Structure 1
């Protein structure tokens, strides 16, 4: 079920959802009141919920849903980036929180993660700590230490020290940025920075957005996931 007041966004989410096997959009609502009325009729497995609705805040609706329908999972999709809203979503038990503008790879990856988690919880009789860590996307100290001691097998042309510098700088970027702009921030060439940014995209550490202008080639802009 999709709860979103933007009709265009709803259609986009429906189209994205159709790309993931096992998912079907069975209803949509544009207000909190309409959503609650629909939830009196049927119970979806998963709700994609916007925060900014015409009649109530999505996080308030999340708590209303939790009062009666604890078995329903919720993924927040919103432009809200304030700490209070994110905290409310976590406390309300949201499975994930996707910030607009939504990248299709992030959307599809989140649905795949949800499907994998739900399948495991349905099929497993007992749960091990490693399973719990996976569900909550946590790493144990041993796993983290092993990762730090076992460096990445980097491809040719990717230096670990430069990669570390690019990662650190990317963490400071709040919005999207193109390779030329990023190159100026770390004092490297455009071609070098482009190579490292594309490596991080391939490694699913950052996202790339294609911006189509009126003239010239499309612009590739990078942002944190």
Structure 2
């Protein structure tokens, strides 16, 4: 990663929401909020002075629609990425965001863990682009989200490189099994489901815990070692907003 932080501009007319986005953006290593603005006009004036790396853009602004502002930004500068944050749930707005080249589209009320995950995925994608000299089709698929999945309106980009010992096909199988499981499960039980060894499944489950995708519960019995049971991570922090 570049030694310089990723500079972020927040374009949002709600002061409370702006403060929340700024607070949590600063929590992710490598990001720095350098400007905030409430209107499209102010944003365009700021962009004439400096170009941020990333813009967090609300759709419902007082003076223009965020998707229209996205196209105006594209006319002025190319080296800036945009994540839309909005209560808009219509297909036309989403389609316009995709055509405008938005990196992601987060729907309000914002789930904080998804907000943080999206920033981390943006940083990983940016790092991968900086480090790659040549590309394969798999890299292209990853950057263009062909092999990604969508949850709660967030486009989640597949990480280009996995740690040693983590195979993408096995990881996909474990993720899918956990997604379909509504109760906690231990490594031995999941191993029987997917037809893999206990040690292999345990390694993948611990990897997903480290990625903050699963949570683990330790059950202390009367005999033997404590049992580790895994479940899908529950969302506890939400940001609510009634308009915009």
**If the length of structure 2 is used for normalisation, what is the TM-score?**
0.62
Unaligned runs of 5+ in 1: 161-197, 212-225
Aligned to 1:199, the other structure's residue is in SS state strand
Deviates more, 1:9-18 or 1:128-137: 128-137
Provide the aligned length of Structure 1 versus Structure 2.
167
Given the superposition, is the C-alpha separation of residues 149 and 208 from structure 1 closer, same or farther in structure 2, using an over 3 Å criterion?
closer
Query: Within the alignment, does 1:96 sit opposite 2:104 as a pair?
Result: yes
Counterpart of 1:23 (choices 18, 21, 31) is 31
Query: Within the alignment, does 1:111 sit opposite 2:119 as a pair?
Result: yes
Which residue number in structure 2 is paired with residue 208 of structure 1? Answer: 235
Which residue number in structure 2 is paired with residue 73 of structure 1? Answer: 81
Give structure 1 regions of 4+ aligned residues with deviation exceeding 3 angstroms: 146-154, 156-160
The structure with the greater share of residues assigned to strand is 2
Given the superposition, is the C-alpha separation of residues 9 and 151 from structure 1 closer, same or farther in structure 2, using an over 3 Å criterion?
closer
1:138: Cα distance to partner?
2.2
Give the whole-Å Cα distance in 1 for the aligned partners of 2:25 and 2:72: 25
Given the superposition, is the C-alpha separation of residues 151 and 8 from structure 1 closer, same or farther in structure 2, using an over 3 Å criterion?
closer
Aligned to 2:31, the other structure's residue is in SS state coil
Give the whole-Å Cα distance in 2 for the aligned partners of 1:8 and 1:81: 21
Counterpart of 1:56 (choices 53, 64, 83) is 64
The alignment yields a C-alpha RMSD, in angstroms, of: 2.9
Given the superposition, is the C-alpha separation of residues 199 and 27 from structure 1 closer, same or farther in structure 2, using an over 3 Å criterion?
same
Give the whole-Å Cα distance in 2 for the aligned partners of 1:150 and 1:60: 37
The structure with the greater share of residues assigned to helix is 1
1:147: Cα distance to partner?
5.0
Contact kept, 8 Å, 2:111 with 2:237, in 1: the verdict is: no
Give the whole-Å Cα distance in 2 for the aligned partners of 1:210 and 1:111: 16
Relative contact order (C-alpha < 8 Å, sep 6+): which is higher?
2
Give the whole-Å Cα distance in 2 for the aligned partners of 1:117 and 1:147: 19
